[in-house]
């Protein structure tokens, strides 16, 4: 009883102290920014009060193109303040969950990771020198590595807490958390990339002689000239290799046919667009192969490609359309469409007829970064023991997009390979090799995550199914890179 009295007394003194200090420094402030009287102020409240500052791909590239020590330090201080702000908002989101949900082992694990990162980042002092920046980068790398378990933990958590939280609230929480996670990794990885670029002797010589870096394909993590054809080819070759390993070398696989403005280019982050296209092609390939096993005769009467040879499967058609401000990519297959009992839950992380199977599969994926490359098998896993292709160098996959077709481009290709290897060795980020993910593991989060990736840069992803025939998926992205990132709404400071 006496101990309870002391705790309550300390809380009253803390509230009184907060009221005294804030009344003299925050007069005129909206009352909604003051924590409720029954809870003392915390460091989290200060950061929740701040607004996140969104950026665009164009801002990322313009800032990095004329990189100098001053600009690098400015980038460091932006990241130093922005990361704890965005993490604080998501911590407050989780704190609004019912107690029984927040104590779920997976949700609690994510909350602990976020709070640990928040404490580390908020205590980083202002970056004034390159040495200070190196210390900040070390903290960022540590957080990026620790948070690789966030996606599967969140996915399992929202599946398990539905007895306490409605499914639509769980879905909204998952979308909010993932969108914010993407935003943090973008600015964090971009700053790490700019730091490595600045410290590169090759880059330093250029900046000293010319005053600014010349036009390059990569500015940090942003690829200025993503070519539609090369993106599709990269993803297609990866999915084909996986399917060959899973179903056998003699299994007929769908050909990916390209149409339209296939040579169009646009600025984008390769890991984002590759994840989206890779998931769409993977789903189409799996649907076609499943239909070939169960009802191969159906194509003889419905296929729009009469030239398809006997025993083969119809192709996956990819149409690319370019407009003044947007690029639209349509992926069409003849895999039989989406079953009616699954269609209403297509974009949900938490609902659908396969929840139990998804939960078991997620338990086998301890780390997940949401990239095409992570479906690779680490070199330590023998090929004969794995059901999918062994791609030991994830960055080689990206650099293959730039392989020249003529001998005179060999110097440029060598330079691209050097940059790719540098990015690979830089830090354990979303382009590194991850835990094996066999194709039999249907996590049920590929399409919802693809939509989040698409919408992050103000794009969209829609899917139209014709049951008994196939699916048309429509991806729209910005061609100019001038759209700000779409951030999650700021958490209310007085939510708890």
388-398: pLDDT as tens digits: 232 233 333 33
Share of the chain above pLDDT 90, in %: 48
Whole-angstrom distance, CA of residue 478 vs CA of residue 27: 43
* CA 170 – CA 112 distance, rounded (Å): 19
Report the C-alpha gap between 358 and 368 in whole angstroms: 14
Is the separation of the CB atoms in 186 and 269 below 8 Å? Answer: yes
Place of tokens 């002092």: 125
Element (H, E) at 450: helix 446-456
pLDDT level of residue 217 (50, 70, 90 thresholds): confident
Any idea which of 230-244, 314-328, 415-429 has the lowest mean pLDDT? 415-429
Give the integer Cα–Cα distance in Å for 31 and 38: 15
Please answer whether residues 473 and 463 qualify as being in contact, where contact means their C-beta atoms are separated by less than 8 angstroms.
yes
Q: What is the pLDDT of residues 266-285, one digit of tens each?
A: 999 999 999 999 999 999 99
The strand pairing partners of 183, in sequence order, are: none
Q: Partners of 265 in the beta sheet?
A: 227
**pLDDT given for residue 349 in this prediction:** 84
pLDDT tens by residue, 57-111: 988 888 788 889 999 999 999 999 999 999 999 999 999 999 999 999 999 999 9
Query: Which neighbouring-strand residues pair with 318?
Result: 258, 331
Cβ–Cβ < 8 Å for 320, 259: yes
Q: Where are the alpha helices (DSSP H) in 67-200?
A: 69-95, 99-102, 105-122, 130-146, 150-160, 167-199
The tokens for 416 are 């691209």
39 Cβ contact list (under 8 Å, min separation 6): 11, 15, 496
pLDDT, residue 327, reads 96
At 288 the pLDDT is 94
Helix then strand count (H, E) for the chain reads 17, 8
Which position has the higher pLDDT, 442 or 308?
Answer: 442
Q: What is the pLDDT of residue 26?
A: 40
* Paired sense of beta strands 256-260 and 218-219, if any: unpaired
pLDDT value at residue 402: 40
Neighbours of 366 (CB within 10 A): 12
380 closest CA partner among 424, 461, 434: 434
Query: Rounded to an integer, what distance in angstroms lies between the CA atom of residue 95 and that of residue 495?
Result: 8
316 pairs with which residues across the strands? 256
The more confidently predicted of residues 131 and 39 is 131
Is 424 within 8 Å of 394 (Cβ atoms)?
yes
Structure confidence at residue 141 (pLDDT): 96
pLDDT on residue 28:
40
Top mean-pLDDT range of 185-189, 221-225, 434-438: 185-189
Which of 161-165, 400-404, 460-464 has the highest mean predicted lDDT (pLDDT)?
460-464
Number of Cβ within a 10 Å radius of residue 30: 9
Q: Is 32 exposed, middle or buried (CB count within 10 Å of its CB: 0-12, 13-18, 19+)?
A: exposed
Residue 443: the pLDDT is 65
Per the structure block, which two tokens stand in for 281? 């092609």
Contact of 109 with 150, CB cutoff 8 Å: no
Measured on CA atoms in the order 47, 174, 178, 463, is the torsion positive or negative? negative
Contact yes or no for 476/14 (Cβ under 8 A): no
Q: CA 50, CA 256: separation in Å to the nearest integer?
A: 47
Q: Which residue has the tokens 């989040």?
A: 452
pLDDT the model gives residue 300? 53
- Residue 378: pLDDT band with limits 50, 70, 90: very low
pLDDT in tens, 155-176: 889 888 988 999 899 999 999 9
pLDDT of residue 441: 57
Tokens of 56: 């665009």
- 316, 331 Cβ separation under 8 angstroms: yes
Q: What is the pLDDT of residue 273?
A: 95
pLDDT at 353 over 50: yes
């Amino acid at each position: 009883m006496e101990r309870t009295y002391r705790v309550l007394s300390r809380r009253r003194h803390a509230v009184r102290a907060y009221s005294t200090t804030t009344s003299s420094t925050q007069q005129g402030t909206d009352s909604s920014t003051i924590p409720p009287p029954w809870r003392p102020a915390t460091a989290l409240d200060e950061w929740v009060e701040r607004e996140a500052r969104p950026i665009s791909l164009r801002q990322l590239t313009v800032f990095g193109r004329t990189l100098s020590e001053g600009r690098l330090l400015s980038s460091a201080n932006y990241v130093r303040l922005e990361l704890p702000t965005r993490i604080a908002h998501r911590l407050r989101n989780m704190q609004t969950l019912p107690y029984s949900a927040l104590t779920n082992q997976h949700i609690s694990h994510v909350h602990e990771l976020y709070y640990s990162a928040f404490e580390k980042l908020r205590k980083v002092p202002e970056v004034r020198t390159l040495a200070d920046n190196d210390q900040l980068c070390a903290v960022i790398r540590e957080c990026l590595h620790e948070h690789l378990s966030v996606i599967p933990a969140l996915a399992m958590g929202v599946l398990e807490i539905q007895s306490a939280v409605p499914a639509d609230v769980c879905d909204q929480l998952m979308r909010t958390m993932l969108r914010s996670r993407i935003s943090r990794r973008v600015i964090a990885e971009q700053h790490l990339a700019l730091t490595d670029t600045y410290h590169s002797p090759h880059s330093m010589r250029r900046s000293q002689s010319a005053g600014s870096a010349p036009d390059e394909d990569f500015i940090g993590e942003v690829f200025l000239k993503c070519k539609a054809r090369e993106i599709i080819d990269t993803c297609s070759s990866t999915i084909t290799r996986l399917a060959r390993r899973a179903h056998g070398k003699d299994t007929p696989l769908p050909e990916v046919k390209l149409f339209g403005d296939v040579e169009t280019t646009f600025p984008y982050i390769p890991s984002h667009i590759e994840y989206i296209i890779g998931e769409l092609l993977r789903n189409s390939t799996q649907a076609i192969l499943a239909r070939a096993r169960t009802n191969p005769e159906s194509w003889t009467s419905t296929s729009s490609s009469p030239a398809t040879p006997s025993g083969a499967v119809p192709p996956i058609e990819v149409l690319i359309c370019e407009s003044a401000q947007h690029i639209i990519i349509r992926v069409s297959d003849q895999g039989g469409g989406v079953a009616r009992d699954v269609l209403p839950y297509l974009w949900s992380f938490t609902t659908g007829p396969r929840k139990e199977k998804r939960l078991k599969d997620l338990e086998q994926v301890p780390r997940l970064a949401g990239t095409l490359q992570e479906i690779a098998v680490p070199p330590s896993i023998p090929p004969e023991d794995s059901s999918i292709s062994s791609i030991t160098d994830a960055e080689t996959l990206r650099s293959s997009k730039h392989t020249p077709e003529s001998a005179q481009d060999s110097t440029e290709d060598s330079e691209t390979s050097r940059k790719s290897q540098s990015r690979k060795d830089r830090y354990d980020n979303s382009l590194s090799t991850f835990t094996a993910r066999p194709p039999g593991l249907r996590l049920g989060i590929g399409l919802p995550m693809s939509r989040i990736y698409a919408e992050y840069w103000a794009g969209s992803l829609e899917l139209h199914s014709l049951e008994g025939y196939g699916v048309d998926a429509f991806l729209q992205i910005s061609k100019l890179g001038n759209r700000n990132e779409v951030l999650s709404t700021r958490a209310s400071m007085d939510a708890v």
